[in-house]
Structure 1
Amino acid sequence: MSSALRGPGAAGGASAGRAPIEVRCPADGRIVGTVPDMSAGQVRAIAAGLRDAQPEWEALGFAGRRRWLAAFRDWLLDNEKRLHELVRDETGKAWGDLAMGEVTPSVDVLNYYLKNGERFLAPWHPRPHSPAMLTKRLTVTYDPHRLVGVITPWNAQLAMQMLDVPAALMAGCAVLTKASEETPLAWNEAVRGWSEDLGAPPVLDVVTGRGETGAAIVDAVDMIQFTGSVETGRRIGVRAAERLIPYSLELGGKDPMVVLADADLDRAVSAAVWGGLYNAGQICVSVERVYVEAPVYDEFVARVAEKVRSLRVGMDAPDEYGTDIGAIATANQLDIIESHVRDAVSKGAKVLVGGGRKEPGQFFEPTVLVDVDHTMDCMRAETFGPTLPIMKVADADEAVRLANDSDFGLAASVFGGDRVRARHVARLIDSGSVNINNAMTNVFQLPVPMGGRRGSGLGSPRLGGAEGIRKYTHPKPVIEERFRLKSELYWYPTTAKNSKLMSRATRFLGAKDWKRRLGR
Structure 2
Amino acid sequence: MNDAAETVSDVVALVRAGQPAWAALPVSSRVRWLARYRDWLWDNQSRLEGLLMRETGKPATEAGLEIPYVIEAINYHSRRAPRLLADRRPRPHGMLAITKRQLIVQRPYPVVGVITPWNFPLGLSLLDAVPALLAGCAVVVKPSELTPSAVSAAIAGWADIGAPQVLDVVCGGADHGAAVADTVDFIQFTGSARTGRAIARTAAERLVPCALELGGKDAMIVLDDADVTRAANAAVWGAMANCGQMCVSVERVYVESAVYDEFVARVVAEATRLRTGIDMGRFTNRAQADVVRRHRDDAIARGAAELIGHGEGPTVLTDTDHDMVCMTEETFGPLLPIVRVDDEDEAVRLANDSRYGLSAVVFSGDAHRAERIARRIDAGAVNINDVFANLFTLALPQAGWKESGLGSRGGSDAVLKFCRPQAIVAARVAPARELTWYPYTPVRRAIMRRVSRLIGARGLRRRFA
Does TM, scored on the shorter chain, surpass 0.5?
A: yes
CA distance in 1, matches of 2:85, 2:220: 36
Partner residue of 1:331 out of 272, 286, 310:
286
Query: Which SS does the other structure have where 1:53 is aligned?
Result: helix
CA distance in 1, matches of 2:162, 2:452: 60
Once the two structures are TM-superposed, the CA of residue 261 in structure 1 deviates from its matched residue by 0.6
Partner residue of 2:420 out of 454, 471, 474:
474
TM-score by length of 1: 0.87
- Structure 1 residue aligned with 2:356: 408
- Structure 2 residue aligned with 1:243: 206
Matches within 5 A, 1:500-515: 500-515=446-461
Query: Which SS does the other structure have where 2:122 is aligned?
Result: helix
CA distance in 1, matches of 2:310, 2:45: 34
- Structure 2 residue aligned with 1:21: none
Question: Letter of the aligned partner of 2:87 in structure 1?
Answer: P
- Structure 2 residue aligned with 1:149: 113
Matches within 5 A, 1:6-17: none
Once the two structures are TM-superposed, the CA of residue 483 in structure 1 deviates from its matched residue by 2.6
- Structure 2 residue aligned with 1:397: 345
Matches within 5 A, 1:212-361: 212-314=175-277, 323-356=278-311
Question: Letter of the aligned partner of 1:79 in structure 2?
Answer: N
CA distance in 2, matches of 1:487, 1:131: 16
- Structure 1 residue aligned with 2:131: 167
Query: Which SS does the other structure have where 2:317 is aligned?
Result: strand
Task: State the Cα deviation string for residues 382-420 of structure 1 (Å, max 9, x = none).
Answer: 000011111111111111101111000000111100111
CA distance in 2, matches of 1:429, 1:355: 33
Partner residue of 1:453 out of 371, 380, 401:
401
Q: Could you tell me the percent identity over the aligned residues?
A: 50
1:435, 1:442 within 8 Å by CA — same for their partners in 2?
Answer: yes
CA distance in 2, matches of 1:484, 1:203: 42
CA distance in 2, matches of 1:125, 1:439: 41
Once the two structures are TM-superposed, the CA of residue 517 in structure 1 deviates from its matched residue by 3.2
Task: State the Cα deviation string for residues 66-87 of structure 1 (Å, max 9, x = none).
Answer: 1211111111111111111111
CA distance in 1, matches of 2:51, 2:216: 27
Once the two structures are TM-superposed, the CA of residue 132 in structure 1 deviates from its matched residue by 4.1
> More displaced, 51-60 or 408-417?
51-60
**Number of residue pairs matched by the alignment:** 465
**1:431 to 2:386 alignment:** no
- Structure 1 residue aligned with 2:56: 91
- Structure 2 residue aligned with 1:198: 161
Query: Which SS does the other structure have where 1:398 is aligned?
Result: helix
Question: Letter of the aligned partner of 1:215 in structure 2?
Answer: A
2:95, 2:452 within 8 Å by CA — same for their partners in 1?
Answer: no
Query: Which SS does the other structure have where 1:164 is aligned?
Result: helix
Once the two structures are TM-superposed, the CA of residue 64 in structure 1 deviates from its matched residue by 1.5
CA distance in 1, matches of 2:458, 2:321: 57
- Structure 2 residue aligned with 1:134: 98
1:251, 1:456 within 8 Å by CA — same for their partners in 2?
Answer: yes
1:341, 1:355 within 8 Å by CA — same for their partners in 2?
Answer: no
- Structure 1 residue aligned with 2:31: 66
Question: Letter of the aligned partner of 1:276 in structure 2?
Answer: A
Once the two structures are TM-superposed, the CA of residue 167 in structure 1 deviates from its matched residue by 0.2
1:184, 1:208 within 8 Å by CA — same for their partners in 2?
Answer: yes
Query: Which SS does the other structure have where 1:129 is aligned?
Result: coil
Question: Letter of the aligned partner of 2:243 in structure 1?
Answer: A
- Structure 2 residue aligned with 1:52: 17
Question: Letter of the aligned partner of 2:204 in structure 1?
Answer: A
CA distance in 1, matches of 2:308, 2:26: 56
2:23, 2:136 within 8 Å by CA — same for their partners in 1?
Answer: yes
1:148, 1:224 within 8 Å by CA — same for their partners in 2?
Answer: yes
CA distance in 2, matches of 1:154, 1:175: 19
Once the two structures are TM-superposed, the CA of residue 58 in structure 1 deviates from its matched residue by 1.4
Partner residue of 2:72 out of 108, 112, 115:
108
Task: State the Cα deviation string for residues 31-50 of structure 1 (Å, max 9, x = none).
Answer: xxxxxxx5101111111111
CA distance in 1, matches of 2:138, 2:445: 50
**1:370 to 2:318 alignment:** yes
Query: Which SS does the other structure have where 1:163 is aligned?
Result: helix
> More displaced, 413-422 or 347-356?
347-356
1:410, 1:451 within 8 Å by CA — same for their partners in 2?
Answer: yes
CA distance in 2, matches of 1:130, 1:494: 21
CA distance in 1, matches of 2:201, 2:449: 46
What's the Cα RMSD here? 1.4
- Structure 2 residue aligned with 1:360: none
CA distance in 1, matches of 2:94, 2:242: 55
CA distance in 1, matches of 2:145, 2:236: 30
CA distance in 1, matches of 2:68, 2:216: 23
Once the two structures are TM-superposed, the CA of residue 499 in structure 1 deviates from its matched residue by 2.2
1:343, 1:376 within 8 Å by CA — same for their partners in 2?
Answer: yes
